[in-house]
Amino acid sequence: MAVQTHEKPAGDTVSLGPASALSCRECGERFPLGPIFACEACFGPLEIAYDLPTGDPEGLRRRIEAGPNSIWRYAPLLPVPADVVDRPATSTNPGFTKLVEARNLARELGVTGSLHIKDDSGNPTHSFKDRVVAIAVEAARAFGFTTLSCSSTGNLAGAVGAAAARAGFRSCVFIPHDLEQGKVVMAAVYGGELVGIEGNYDDVNRFCSELIGDPLGEGWGFVNVNLRPYYGEGSKTLAYEICEQLGWRLPDQLVVPIASGSQLTKIDKGLKELIALGLVEDRPYRIFGAQAEGCSPVSRAFKDGHDVVRPVRPDTIAKSLAIGNPADGPYVLDIARRTGGAVEDVDDGRIVDAIKLLARTEGIFAETAGGVTVGVTKKLLEDGVLDPSLTTVVLNTGDGLKTLDAVAPTTGPTATIRPSLEAFRAAGLA
Amino acid sequence: MAVQTHEKPAGDTVSLGPASALSCRECGERFPLGPIFACEACFGPLEIAYDLPTGDPEGLRRRIEAGPNSIWRYAPLLPVPADVVDRPATSTNPGFTKLVEARNLARELGVTGSLHIKDDSGNPTHSFKDRVVAIAVEAARAFGFTTLSCSSTGNLAGAVGAAAARAGFRSCVFIPHDLEQGKVVMAAVYGGELVGIEGNYDDVNRFCSELIGDPLGEGWGFVNVNLRPYYGEGSKTLAYEICEQLGWRLPDQLVVPIASGSQLTKIDKGLKELIALGLVEDRPYRIFGAQAEGCSPVSRAFKDGHDVVRPVRPDTIAKSLAIGNPADGPYVLDIARRTGGAVEDVDDGRIVDAIKLLARTEGIFAETAGGVTVGVTKKLLEDGVLDPSLTTVVLNTGDGLKTLDAVAPTTGPTATIRPSLEAFRAAGLA
């Protein structure tokens, strides 16, 4: 790999566009922008504080609309250098994926308003992870890191490998040693270092935490650990795109998958920013979280009326959502309750049915996480929780090609025949 | 599947935008627009004749630029109804995929001009087939067909299944009965009929030809047979997009894969149209065809100085290019010679190397067909046939996730270690 030099800027300040500081989500303590992720005072999670370009919404809207067909059109609202748009090779330039008006699916589900699928399978490595990694890459560059890293069992490994390759970083990704060969290939093909760890995913994570604290890990940016405050902001772009693609309008209802819960909280943050900036009208929206029954700690807490999320041991085909102890679970509960939403879950059978339902109505082949959101949407409509007369957006965050095994056992030919018209006639398909 | 009614328009005329007639490529005989594909006079292939919107290139350019981020921005130049842009559900709305400036790859190959990858893995079902199928769907609608069909061993099956689902057609796709399970799942998941034929791909094709001529096949649009003249035009959009994305400029050199050869001829057609319309400056361009050594009849004929293409029995990992008797081979030879291009081939080892080269330099994981074009580009540069100082565009027509087997045997972890810093230190990767 052609590793380029990433010079750390002189002095202690970095320039990441409108990002002004890191702020503790719990106690509000502020810190200069840097590769830290936990509050020194209370150990709460840090997030980005901004000086956003208020005062001229029309000018901002025009500037966004004149931008590239990627997340970089929203650079004025992201923790990235102002010139990110003009640089030729940032990372994979993800985003501005299709918002598909799902008329066939709406008809089948009895939706009389409008139903839309935000289809992130159109990203460069076919999941929403390209968004978050792209932002982490810009932070890594600003902080002078030369190696990009993460622990992963799937989508994130590919997103980091691809972004590092294109942006000229070394990458070193850690995976459990016994992953399926297909996933290993997807993680390894971009040519970075790929290290199998003899242990399960928890062992991999523990090892990465050790490495961050050790001199061996110096110069390493772990996208979802020491770069996490930046990384997480990538999910805001989903909110921006949905509103712009609806004609600068808030959806009434959003159905969002929950893994760590970060994505859902950042979508809420993005919507609030658009309101504050005057880019969309300020009116209520409701956010619904979706989990697989086999890993539904947030759904459980929501239904039980609890504020704390009790960890579970995941057991579901929706591997990309299988986080048993979701860090942002309490924030998700808060958002679902504050906006008048809900958190619901569906079992593996309904996940598979929902993947097939979306494929046969809209021609979109979703990952299991997309089966979770579509399945939960169906359930919430059946239960009268979602209002069928409103504008609803459902997220598909990944690609069915990556989770073929989920549908393979129940998806096959209608018939197998000899190559003759008689045989075809007999099969009754004409 | 919710099959909608597609009313055949009254009378014998159909309205497909600027398309005015079918014209025989060999004898020039003209026929009214209809679901026919061979000249009644000489059996030559039919192609679309147009009344294109000449006279106001600036107005046309503005109209295109204001259009949607899909092939429909070029509706004024395609055989589709003028209102295709406004209809909510056409098919999968493919196109306007990324043109990636490949600086890392250029550096590695010694290209001093600019090198670009036109990356069609970003299409809805992750191959360029979505483009051609989308045009065939509009023709099928115009001709009153209710079933979309094709024979396929891969990409086309998925593209037809997805487009039919979304556009409200029934679909019935024919495949050899012994395809790998992954490909069967990708073809079946959209919920149309999928029929395994006991025989090889030739048997499947023969069966489809029989079916077209039989009353059983009435109302059936075979996208690449009786809708082929329309279908093929979808590939013109690759030429349009490349030029628009280069700032309304022709590339100097294009490297295009050859299966049937249709795509290459339509790209040439698209470039000539842009020149005729005044949308780009009229200056020379060179088109290079790329084949796998294991299926290289056109490359062979080019090197031997022949005008005819002798059929071969394909034996290559590049399955999506494995057409041993390419229908448009002679036209490809003509274009390569007329434009000062060439036709070249690379063996399977170089195809795999090229897939990995593209992945580790640009973060793009290409299908084997993309390995063919990148591999041929490298070879043509080494041989001094391609000029490294010019603007070159290389097509990647599909997604690596669909041909994992090609790279799996040689792609894996760098190391496998115990979860400890000592083990990591010993592996020498820090």
Query: Dihedral of CA B188/B190/B193/B199: which sign?
Result: negative
Are A365 and B162 in contact (CB < 8 Å)?
Answer: yes
Are residues A372 and A324 both part of a single domain? yes
Which residue type does B426 have? A
The domain boundary, picked from B172, B207, B231, lies at B231
Q: What is the pLDDT of residue B178?
A: 87
Phi then psi for residue A225, to 5 deg, are -125, -85
Q: What is the pLDDT of residue B91?
A: 87
Q: How many CB atoms lie within 10 A of CB A197?
A: 27
The share of chain B scoring above pLDDT 70, in percent, equals 97
Are A363 and B216 in contact (CB < 8 Å)?
Answer: no
Q: Which DSSP symbol is given to A120?
A: G
Are A122 and B125 in contact (CB < 8 Å)?
Answer: no
Assess whether pLDDT exceeds 60 at residue B209.
yes
Report helix angle A348-362 to B155-167, nearest 10.
80
Burial class (CB in 10 A: 0-12, 13-18, 19+), B339: middle
Contact at 8 Å (CB) between A49 and B64? no
Are residues B70 and B168 both part of a single domain? yes
Q: What is the pLDDT of residue B170?
A: 96
The share of chain A scoring above pLDDT 70, in percent, equals 97
Least confident of B77-91, B126-140, B241-255: B77-91
Are B416 and A196 in contact (CB < 8 Å)?
Answer: yes
Q: How many CB atoms lie within 10 A of CB A109?
A: 19
Among B69, B365, B422, most A C-beta atoms within 10 A, so best to mutate, is B365
Are residues B335 and B206 both part of a single domain? no
Are residues B167 and B68 both part of a single domain? yes
Distance CA B337, CA B286 (A): 9
Q: What is the pLDDT of residue B182?
A: 83
Are residues B27 and B158 both part of a single domain? yes
CA distance B332 to chain A (A): 31
DSSP, residue by residue, A369-413:
HHHHHHHHHHHHHHTT-S-TTSEEEEEE-BBGGGGHHHHGGG---
Contact at 8 Å (CB) between B317 and B360? no
Assess whether pLDDT exceeds 90 at residue B201.
no
Residue A12: pLDDT band (50, 70, 90) is: low
Q: What is the pLDDT of residue B236?
A: 98
Cα within 13 Å of Cα(B233), Cβ side: 28
Are residues A77 and A134 both part of a single domain? yes
Are A363 and B108 in contact (CB < 8 Å)?
Answer: no
Residue B107: pLDDT band (50, 70, 90) is: very high
Identify the CA nearest to B403 among candidates B343, B328, B322, B312. Answer: B322
Phi then psi for residue A79, to 5 deg, are -80, 65
Query: Dihedral of CA B350/B353/B355/B360: which sign?
Result: negative
Assess whether pLDDT exceeds 90 at residue A66.
yes
Helices (H) and strands (E) in chain A, counts: 15, 14
Identify the CA nearest to B410 among candidates B343, B351, B342, B339. Answer: B351
Are residues B132 and B207 both part of a single domain? yes
Q: What is the pLDDT of residue B6?
A: 44
Residue A6: pLDDT band (50, 70, 90) is: very low
Residues of B in contact with A182 (CB under 8 A): 404, 408
Q: Which DSSP symbol is given to B9?
A: P
Residues of A in contact with B186 (CB under 8 A): 365, 401, 404
Distance CA B79, CA B16 (A): 5
Could you tell me which residues come within 8 angstroms of residue A55 by beta carbon, excluding any fewer than 6 positions away?
Answer: none
Identify the CA nearest to B201 among candidates B183, B189, B216, B227. Answer: B183
Q: Is B365 helix (H, G, I), strand (E, B) or coil?
A: coil
Could you tell me which residues come within 8 angstroms of residue A256 by beta carbon, excluding any fewer than 6 positions away?
Answer: A263, A264, A267, A287, A288, A289, A290, A373, A395
Are B184 and A104 in contact (CB < 8 Å)?
Answer: no
Burial class (CB in 10 A: 0-12, 13-18, 19+), B122: buried
Report helix angle A155-167 to A181-188, nearest 10.
20
Identify the CA nearest to B136 among candidates B233, B45, B49, B269. Answer: B233
CA distance B23 to chain A (A): 31
Give a yes or no: residue B329 inside a domain. yes
CA distance A238 to chain B (A): 17
Could you tell me which residues come within 8 angstroms of residue A45 by beta carbon, excluding any fewer than 6 positions away?
Answer: A24, A25, A26, A37, A38, A39, A228, A229, A327, A328
For residue A194, what is the nearest residue in chain B, using CA coordinates? Answer: B413
Contact at 8 Å (CB) between A201 and A324? no
Distance CA A264, CA A290 (A): 10
The domain boundary, picked from A231, A257, A279, lies at A231
Give a yes or no: residue A12 inside a domain. no
* Digit-coded pLDDT (tens) for B403-428: 999 999 999 999 999 999 999 999 98
Q: What is the pLDDT of residue B5?
A: 41
Q: Is B111 helix (H, G, I), strand (E, B) or coil?
A: coil
* Exposed e or buried b per residue across A118-153, where buried means at least 16 C-beta atoms within 10 angstroms of its C-beta: bbbbbbbbbbbbbbbbbbbbbbbbbbebbbbbbbbb
Contact at 8 Å (CB) between A371 and A363? no
Among B65, B360, B396, most A C-beta atoms within 10 A, so best to mutate, is B360
Burial class (CB in 10 A: 0-12, 13-18, 19+), B38: middle
Among A101, A411, A418, most B C-beta atoms within 10 A, so best to mutate, is A411
For residue B146, what is the nearest residue in chain A, using CA coordinates? Answer: A430
Residues of B in contact with A125 (CB under 8 A): 363, 365
Residue A140: pLDDT band (50, 70, 90) is: very high
* Digit-coded pLDDT (tens) for A239-248: 999 999 999 9
Task: Specify the DSSP element, H or E, that contains A424.
Answer: helix A421-427
Identify the CA nearest to B399 among candidates A213, A399, A328, A61. Answer: A399
Identify the CA nearest to A156 among candidates A402, A416, A430, A408. Answer: A402
Name B47's bridge partners.
B23
Q: What is the pLDDT of residue A430?
A: 78
Cα within 13 Å of Cα(B419), Cβ side: 19
Domain count, chain A: 2
Q: What is the mean pLDDT of residues A181-204?
A: 91
Domain that holds residue A37: 19-88+128-231
Mean pLDDT of chain B: 94
* Digit-coded pLDDT (tens) for A71-87: 999 999 999 998 898 87
Assess whether pLDDT exceeds 90 at residue A11.
no
Residues of B in contact with A355 (CB under 8 A): 189
Assess whether pLDDT exceeds 70 at residue A292.
yes
Q: How many CB atoms lie within 10 A of CB B418?
A: 14
Is A182 or A277 the better-scoring residue by pLDDT?
A277
Q: What is the mean pLDDT of residues A265-280?
A: 98
Residue B154: pLDDT band (50, 70, 90) is: confident
Are B415 and A195 in contact (CB < 8 Å)?
Answer: yes
Assess whether pLDDT exceeds 50 at residue A165.
yes
Give a yes or no: residue A423 inside a domain. no
* Digit-coded pLDDT (tens) for A346-392: 999 999 999 999 999 999 999 999 999 999 999 999 999 999 999 99
Are residues A195 and A343 both part of a single domain? no
Residue B14: pLDDT band (50, 70, 90) is: confident
Give a yes or no: residue B154 inside a domain. yes
For residue A122, what is the nearest residue in chain B, using CA coordinates? Answer: B122
Q: Is A157 helix (H, G, I), strand (E, B) or coil?
A: helix
Give a yes or no: residue B430 inside a domain. no
Number of residues that this document lists for chain A: 430
Are B420 and A207 in contact (CB < 8 Å)?
Answer: yes
For residue A363, what is the nearest residue in chain B, using CA coordinates? Answer: B162
Tokens of B207: 């069966």
The domain boundary, picked from A231, A257, A278, lies at A231
Are residues A27 and A136 both part of a single domain? yes
CA distance B51 to chain A (A): 31
**ipTM entry:** 0.95
Residue B88: pLDDT band (50, 70, 90) is: low
Q: Rounded to a whole number, what is the largest CA-CA distance in chain A?
A: 80
Give a yes or no: residue A264 inside a domain. yes
CA distance B391 to chain A (A): 16
Residues of A in contact with B124 (CB under 8 A): 98, 122, 363-364
Are B416 and A197 in contact (CB < 8 Å)?
Answer: yes
Which residue type does B149 have? S
Are A424 and B211 in contact (CB < 8 Å)?
Answer: yes
Are A198 and B401 in contact (CB < 8 Å)?
Answer: no
Among A177, A212, A360, A405, most B C-beta atoms within 10 A, so best to mutate, is A360
Residue that has been written with the tokens 């070879």 in this structure = B379
Q: What is the pLDDT of residue B181?
A: 83
Give a yes or no: residue A13 inside a domain. no
Assess whether pLDDT exceeds 50 at residue B11.
no
Give a yes or no: residue B7 inside a domain. no
Where does residue B285 fall: left (phi above 0), alpha (psi -120 to 50 degrees), or beta otherwise? beta
Residue that has been written with the tokens 């772990």 in this structure = A222
CA angle A246, A119, A123 (to 5 degrees): 115
Could you tell me how many CB contacts below 8 A there are between chain A and chain B? 252
Q: What is the mean pLDDT of residues B298-302?
A: 98
* Digit-coded pLDDT (tens) for A303-342: 999 999 999 999 999 999 999 999 999 999 999 999 999 9
Assess whether pLDDT exceeds 90 at residue B12.
no
Are residues B151 and B33 both part of a single domain? yes
CATH of residue B204's domain is: 3.40.50.1100
Name B221's bridge partners.
B148
CA distance B39 to chain A (A): 26
Assess whether pLDDT exceeds 90 at residue A45.
yes
Are residues A256 and A351 both part of a single domain? yes
* Exposed e or buried b per residue across B234-263, where buried means at least 16 C-beta atoms within 10 angstroms of its C-beta: bbbbbbbbbbbbbeeebbbbbbbbbbbbbb
Phi then psi for residue B249, to 5 deg, are -140, 140
Q: Which DSSP symbol is given to A9?
A: P
CA distance B49 to chain A (A): 31
Q: What is the mean pLDDT of residues B76-102?
A: 90
Could you tell me which residues come within 8 angstroms of residue B279 by beta carbon, excluding any fewer than 6 positions away?
Answer: B57, B60, B61, B243, B248
Are residues A273 and A308 both part of a single domain? yes
Q: What is the pLDDT of residue A154?
A: 84
